[in-house]
Structure 1
């Protein structure tokens, strides 16, 4: 069932949605471009490519195949998917190398700003017949010095039990399994949801052709996405995985870190599972 439904979340549809989300984010951002920095980064990137070509004696047939594939990635709208799956984890490692609080990891291509605002204890929006094991995800948001952060924001999104994300797959309501929770006066939160499933990134487009040609797999382990923020503190973006889950040791996006693996137990009320995971933010 999962494989059948995942195939319906086509690369073209999810790629187009991810591209539009990224363009919207870029329109809202401003950045000064340092010409020397651009020169350094692009020159070294090209030098690395030249070295690969020379060392591996790349021929014109291979070069033309690369050009054709690069053009197709753009036509498929899959640049956000390609970059977030295979490059973002390295950028995140650099960005987070001085972080003292909770470990971060990649955002991925499926974040959407503006999810419904919810109180400190809430259920994520979901269908009446939402599949999957009920999960209570709870914890406290604190500063690095241990101070509870009253009113901290926990923006959470996830795939459903079929591995699909709302706004990137057909048949799901706009904000299914997406919500922005405001912690209470002690920084505490309780989020009722369902445990997500592992999912396969779309394989019917250019990224899928690369995966097939290289003999790789296309799977990500099940995870919860979080963006956590509080005044005077750095925004923390992370993903939380599940102990014993499939693909933990071979995530196609190379985003799993040991500190981010949850180990839920039976829920106190006997309904599904629950886990407590506190979040520590660095001061800005």
Structure 2
């Protein structure tokens, strides 16, 4: 793929992520008690106040932070900022009382309504899709070890240059996205290409923060999945690749040892990796 392809901007990615977020059904805080809101918000503000005191924040620094927050809002980057720097901690709290496969962050690049595919399938892709062919196979079971028939694996990932369909102007809609329906034994086999690591968009206020702090903006290569079936708690997770760049320093702090694949090269040149999912009944 040419390196001169148009790169998605932070504003464009932010607008797409915001639209996708609003299109999904979220409970929000409507059912949260006044006492709970007061407790959590006060704790957040107490943390900010403590940081200001501990680090003797100046008015100039406060003004810079205020302008940065305004820029984040005007640039539509709240989904990017919160998904990269906050969501991993919310997910860790949720995981404390959950069983089954390890979860991790959803991230900003999920889009609902992907093409439904059979248990043995190839993700939608361009005729000349670049990248190393990858076969991803496994089984979905419940916590007792029983297969979960017709479980759905909603799978999406970046292409071999690190771009997501729906967020990069040169990538066709629906590319490398699909909902694979497992067979009667919960088994699946998905053909795709190995994704690449990618930078979070750095041309907006989130990128300026990363640069000002001396951090790097990279995420390791990964597959995104939501695995679901009626009567079971859905799992939102990501699967990474052993030996990959940025695996130990993910800017989103979302990697976990249990979620690292070790693909093996097959005689036909394709990589193959197997991973079984365990869903918790509800």
TM-score (structure 2 length as normaliser): 0.97
- Name the SS of the counterpart of 2:189 in structure 1: strand
1:20-44 C-alpha deviation (Å, 9 max, x unpaired) = 1112225x64641311110000011
Q: Is the 8 A contact 1:2 1:163 kept in 2?
A: no
1:58 alignment partner, SS class:
coil
Q: Secondary structure at the match of 1:74?
A: helix
Stretches of structure 2 lacking an aligned partner (at least 5 in a row): none
* TM-aligned CA deviation for residue 172 of structure 1: 1.3
1:172 and 2:177 equivalent? no
Which residue of the partner structure matches residue 63 of structure 1?
62
Instruction: Give 1:100 deviation, angstroms.
Output: 2.3
Match of 1:141 in 2: 140
Bigger proportion of residues as helix: 1
2:265 alignment partner in structure 1:
266
Separation in 1, partners of 2:4, 2:197: 14
Question: Does the 8 A contact of 2:7 with 2:168 survive in 1?
Answer: yes
* 1:18/1:109 contact within 8 Å kept: yes
Contact preservation (8 Å) 1:11, 1:203: yes
Report the CA distance shift for 1:121/1:219 in structure 2 as closer, same or farther (over 3 A).
same
Superposition map of 1:67-86 within 5 A: 67-86=66-85
| TM-score, normalised with respect to structure 1 | 0.96
Gapped regions of structure 1 (runs ≥ 5): none
Q: Deviations over 1:239-261 (max 9, x none)?
A: 00000000000000000000000
SS at match of 1:8: coil
Distance 1:206 1:108 in 2: 18
| 2:88 alignment partner in structure 1 | 89
Structure 1 residues 69-101: Cα deviation after superposition (integer angstroms, max 9, x where no partner): 000001111000000000000000011112221
Q: CA deviation at 1:181?
A: 0.5
Label 1:3 to 1:244 Cα distance change in 2 as closer, same or farther (>3 A).
farther
